[in-house]
Amino acid sequence: MPRLAVFDCDGTLVDSQANICRAMEKAFAIANRPAPPRAAIRRIVGLSLVEALQALLPQDDDATHRRMAADYKQAFFDLRTSGDMAEEPLFDGIAAVIDRLETDGWLLGVATGKSDRGLAHILAHHGLTHRFVTLQTADRHPSKPDPSMLLAAMAEAGAAAHETAMIGDTSFDMAMAKAAGTRAVGVAWGYHDRDDLARAGADVVAEEVHALPGMLA
């Protein structure tokens, strides 16, 4: 039975907070709303867009959330196509971790609140597309912490829950892992702190990138 390591993207593989915040601020400006503090925006990274806007604007209706989600997508696309997008680097050491896990026999996947287009772009930019056997996004699944993405990843890879680890930086990732019956591995370099991860069910939390392979062994 294969072992499967499924990574979140934003805040786990790549540091994308600057662009997420800028696109969200633009969506709020289009709606003539004051933008929330960036700390509040970082807290919703990992949710699908409509759910993220529900969390930021709980008093508004579904139509408003969906309209602002579309504005966010356009703002993010405009940043990319204008050349004004900030670099979205891999966190230091992530490429070496991917190499090590593959050498150790792990299959790799991604489960993210990004769109198919957004994930394809970031993986291609870093030359990682071919490293993952399953890619699950918000385009085809309910938002985290619903386990749909993780269940689909396991089905595609042919992996059982007890041989699967979900690796992420948010409480949404940890809760999704618990809902799917997999191991929940938190990382401390992303957008939720250690206490949030622990409360959501993290089995372990990696403080440093290089520690991940040992925690999965």
pLDDT at 46: 87
Which listed residue (10, 15, 71, 173) is catalytic? 10
**pTM here?**
0.86
Residues in a beta bridge with 184: 166
Are the C-beta atoms of 72 and 23 separated by less than 8 Å?
Answer: yes
pLDDT for residue 68? 97
The reply to whether 196 belongs to the active site is no
Q: How confident is the model at residue 72, as a pLDDT?
A: 95
pLDDT of residue 113: 94
pLDDT at 90: 93
Cβ contacts of 132 within 8 Å, gap of 6 or more: 108, 109, 110, 123
Specify the CATH number for 17-82; select among 3.30.1380, 3.40.630, 1.10.357, 1.10.150. Answer: 1.10.150
Strands 183-187 and 164-168: parallel
Task: Enumerate the CATH 3.40.50.1000 domain ranges in the chain, comma separated.
Answer: 3-15+88-216
**Spatial separation of the C-alpha atoms in residues 57 and 22, rounded to whole Å:** 17
- Over its length of 217 residues, how does the chain's per-residue pLDDT go in tens digits? 799 999 999 999 999 888 899 999 999 999 999 999 998 998 899 899 999 999 999 999 999 999 999 999 999 999 888 877 777 889 999 999 999 999 999 999 999 999 999 899 999 999 999 999 999 999 999 999 999 999 999 999 999 999 999 999 999 999 999 999 999 999 999 989 999 999 999 999 999 999 999 999 8
> Residue 198: which of 214, 184, 217 has the closest Cα?
184
Kindly list the strands in the beta sheet with 3-7, ordered across the sheet, starting from the edge strand earlier in the chain: 134-136, 106-111, 3-7, 164-168, 183-187, 204-206
Assign a CATH topology to domain 3-15+88-216. Answer: Rossmann fold (3.40.50)
Phi–psi pair at 193, nearest 5 degrees: -85, 175
Is 10 annotated in the active site? yes
Tell me, what's the pLDDT at 85? 72
Q: Where are the beta strands (DSSP E) in 112-189?
A: 134-136, 164-168, 183-187
Q: Where in the chain is the domain with CATH 1.10.150?
A: 17-82
The confidence score (pLDDT) of residue 17 equals: 86
The CA angle 46-113-148, to the nearest 5 degrees, is 105
Tokens read off for 9? 């993207």
**Single-letter amino acid, residue 41:** I
User: What is the structure's pLDDT at 22?
Assistant: 92
- Give the alpha-carbon dihedral of 169, 173, 175, 176, to 10 degrees: -170
Q: Tens digits of per-residue pLDDT, 156-188?
A: 999 999 999 999 999 999 999 999 999 999 999
8, 71, 169, 173: the catalytic one is 8
Going 173 to 174 to 180 to 181, the CA torsion angle's sign is positive
Inter-residue contact 128 to 7 (CB < 8 Å): no
Backbone angles phi, psi at 150, to 5 degrees: -70, -40
**Predicted pLDDT at 37:** 93
